[in-house]
Structure 1
Amino acid sequence: MTTIRQNGSLYTNIQNKIATIEFGHPASNSFPSELLDRLTKELISVGKNDEVSLIILKSEGEKAFCAGASFDELVAVSTLEEGKQFFAGFANVINAMRTCGKLIIGRIQGKTVGGGVGLAAACDYVLATENASIKLSEFTIGIGPFVIEPAVSRKIGISGTAELTLDATSWKNAYWAKEKGLYAKVFESTSELDKEIDIMATKLASYNPVALIEMKKVLWKGTENWNNLLAERAAVSGELVLSEFTKKALLKFKK
């Protein structure tokens, strides 16, 4: 299934029990709300497909994996409800990744920022290239990575999340992310990355699908409160984005 619109593209290909979901957007694979909503629905749909044992999540191109949420939409937020709905986009995607019932392999080919780091963290197993540096720059515009924090901290711990969040202007390289537990393996090139993903996915898809489903439950044990937690975090971010500090900071970045 292919969906190509002004607000980005989403493509799902299913072969040999492996569903590859690929998203894309001209602005460094960032996510407008509509694309986040479509990804959420696609993850839920694929999760219910008995012909699928495994999901690969990837983005278009060879450069950025994901630049996070749409900057233009963030600037346009004018009410508390709009802010809450805006930040709920990534909350919904993370919860769909958590509950879809299928193990998810993340393919991270390039730099990822903000919500994109949350997507990587919500994958069950992540393979990346040396170019896949990460950054949480939310503090620079007066907000914080509150919605994605539970997923990030679950992978790299509170200390890693603190280092990444508080040093908001610095990139952490792929080997830092691997050392902290976000990435399982790092490769020198995308061709090596894709070769390893193919091998890994083929192996996993050959295993007992019921065992894979049960393992997914085990890996996410203790996150049963995330529907409420991430909604609460979205409300916090939605309020912050309306602050005078953030509005001024966003105007500076826009210029």
Structure 2
Amino acid sequence: MTSPYVKQHTENGISTIEFFHPAHNSLPGDILAKLANTITEAGQDDNVLVIILKSGGDRTFCAGASFKELISIEDEKTGEEFFMGFANVINAMRKCPKFIIGRVQGKTVGGGVGLASAMDYCMATKFASIKLSELNIGIGPFVVGPAVARKLGVSGMSQIAIDANTFYSPEWAKDKGLFTHVYDSTEELDEAVQATAEHLCTYNPEAMKEMKKIFWDGCDDWDTLLNERAKVSGRLVLSEFTKEKLKRFA
């Protein structure tokens, strides 16, 4: 099996960041940390004009939190630190002065929906159904909630958070504003993502930087807010309800 990775390739002003995990692109703490650092570094690189964020593999963009790590959490501090991994990635995306284009080739669950929601411009395939499954295991989408609500609205976010068993179609996600376009194949998606990135490279970097500030206006408290949310998740993951649910995945 291919080992987990985060890799980056920069060419002609476009920095492509790709993450992968053999367990359906789930995200353990080390991958989350590498992802946050790589996004931050790309944002600081003067040679980078635009960022593409993608995952490896075919039909799954991201399965969300690593169940292996969730099961191993034994105290609130460890739980908080794990969920802060998602908070750090979202905040890195928020603070990055470059536009981040999302390439969502398949299903995305939980924290993966948070990542897609934090993209500045996100495109997908017809296979890219989304689900917020956290309530199923006794927690909730607390850390990713602000990012998801920012894109889908509180109504859309609460709908998929409550209906935690259901995959919502990429067309539903597009109608709600999460995806800008939905393509029939990964090949079409890749062509569109590349063309969009190349076109953005012809724009004034300073103008894009200032626009990014406007897009994320009102989110300056997220360092504190997402930390508070991580503490909630870190507490709930230790509940008897959640421990019993997670045993099924052990």
Count of aligned pairs: 250
**In the TM superposition, what is the alpha-carbon distance from 1:252 to its structure 2 partner?**
2.5
- Secondary structure of 2:114 counterpart: helix
8 Å Cα contact 2:152-2:176 kept in structure 1: yes
Task: Note if 1:83 corresponds to 2:89.
Answer: no
Matched, 1:166 2:173: no
CA distance in 1, matches of 2:243, 2:66: 15
Secondary structure of 1:160's counterpart equals: helix
Amino acid across the alignment from 1:219? F
SS of equivalent residue, structure 1 residue 65: strand
Tell me what 2:217 maps to. 221
The separation in 1 between residues aligned to 2:121 and 2:16, in whole angstroms, is 14
Give ranges in structure 1 of 5+ residues lacking alignment. Answer: 1-5
Amino acid in structure 2 at the alignment position of 1:16 = N
Contact persistence 2:67–2:249 (CA under 8 A):
no
Matched to 1:186, the amino acid is V
Is the counterpart of residue 183 in structure 1 residue 200 in structure 2? no
CA distance in 1, matches of 2:197, 2:236: 40
Q: What percentage of aligned pairs have identical amino acids?
A: 54
CA distance in 2, matches of 1:252, 1:99: 38
* Deviation for aligned residue 1:7: 6.6
Letter in 2 for 1:203: H
Q: Give the corresponding residue for 2:9.
A: 13
5+ long unaligned stretches in structure 2 = none
Moved over 2 A (4+): none
2:248 is paired with a residue whose SS is helix
- Tell me, yes or no, if structure 1 residue 111 matches structure 2 residue 107: yes
* Aligned with 1:237 (options 229, 233, 236): 233
Per the alignment, residue 3 of structure 1 pairs with: none
The counterpart of 1:53, out of the listed 49, 52, 57, is 49
Structure 1 residue corresponding to 2:40, chosen from 41, 44, 49: 44
Contact 1:7 1:32 in 2 (8 A): no
Give, as a single letter, the amino acid of the residue that structure 2 aligns with 1:122.
Answer: A
> Normalising by the residue count of structure 1, what TM-score does the alignment of the two structures yield?
0.96
For residues 168-200 of structure 1, the C-alpha deviation after alignment (integer angstroms, 9 at most, x for no partner) is 000001000000100000000111111111111
C-alpha displacement at 1:122, in angstroms?
Answer: 0.3
TM, length-normalised to structure 2: 0.98
Are 1:109 and 1:128, in contact at CA under 8 Å, matched by a contact in 2? yes
Which of 105, 117, 121 matches 1:121? 117
| Letter aligned with residue 40 of structure 2 | I
Local SS of the residue matching 2:18 = strand
Write the distance in 2 (CA, Å) between the matches of 1:44 and 1:218: 19
CA-CA distance at 1:10 after TM superposition: 1.0
Equivalent residue letter for 1:133: S
